[in-house]
Amino acid sequence: MKLGLNIDHVATIRQARGGFEPDPVAAAVLATLSGADSIVCHLREDRRHLQDRDLVLLRQVVQTRLNMEMAPTQEMIEKALQVRPAVCTFVPEKREERTTEGGLDVSSNLGRIKEAVTALNASGIEVSLFINPQVSVVRECVKTEAQAVELHTGLFAEARDEQVRYHTLEDLRSASIAAAKLGFFVAAGHGLNYHNVSSVASLPEIQELNIGHAIIARAVFVGLPKALEDMRYLIDR
Ligand code: PXP
Q: What's the pLDDT score for residue 97?
A: 66
Nearest to 4 by CA among 152, 184, 211, 195: 211
Q: Identify the pLDDT of residue 94.
A: 73
pTM of the model: 0.96
Report the number of distinct structural domains present in the chain. 1
CA atoms of 192 and 30, how far apart (whole Å): 21
Compute the distance from residue 121 Cα to the ligand 1 centre, in Å.
23
CATH of the domain at 184: 3.20.20.70
- Amino acid residing at 184: F
pLDDT of the residue at 102:
86
CA–CA gap between residue 157 and residue 104 (Å, rounded): 18
For the CA of 150, the nearest atom of ligand 1: 3
Q: What is the Cα–Cα distance from 27 to 219, expressed in whole angstroms? A: 10
**pLDDT computed for residue 125 by the predictor:** 98
**Separation of CA 151 and ligand 1 centre (Å):** 11
Q: According to the model, what pLDDT value does residue 93 have?
A: 80
215 lies in which domain range?
2-236
Q: Identify the segments of the chain with pLDDT beneath 70.
A: 95-100
192 lines ligand 1 (CB under 6 A): yes
Nearest Cα to Cα of residue 70 among 125, 15, 23: 125
- The residues annotated as belonging to the active site are 42, 69, 190
